[in-house]
Amino acid sequence: MSLPLIYTPFTKFQTAWGGTQGGECGAHYLDYMRCASLVGGVRAKDDCYKELADFHECALSQKQLKRVVIMEKERKRQKRPYIEALGQDIPEKGY
């Protein structure tokens, strides 16, 4: 994830093709890019740290996975069984 050195008509196509703007984390990506375009590529790591951290959390879900591991350890510590899955409302649809 870096700012382009040379802007050409192909640059826009390339960012849309390999970028994350259209995905579920697109809003976080655009927040970071707006901040980075205001302060410049060199200062972006320091000045736009919050936006970059939000994007990384959305893309990698590291905090969410840590919470799942902690909850699983606590469930095992308390020796509680797994909760049965709820029945499906519309079986042919799968939900």
Spatial separation of the C-alpha atoms in residues 44 and 46, rounded to whole Å: 5
pLDDT digits (tens, 9 = 90+) for 2-46: 565 666 666 666 655 556 666 788 889 888 888 998 898 889 889
Assigned token pair, 70: 């902690």
Spatial separation of the C-alpha atoms in residues 86 and 78, rounded to whole Å: 22
Helices marked H in 9-61 = 9-18, 26-39, 44-47, 49-60
pLDDT digits (tens, 9 = 90+) for 46-57: 999 999 999 999
The alpha carbons of the chain give a radius of gyration, in whole angstroms, of 20
Task: Match 């060199």 to its residue by tokens.
Answer: 42
Spatial separation of the C-alpha atoms in residues 34 and 17, rounded to whole Å: 19
pTM, two decimal places: 0.61
Amino acid in the structure at residue 55: F
Q: Supply the pLDDT for residue 11.
A: 61
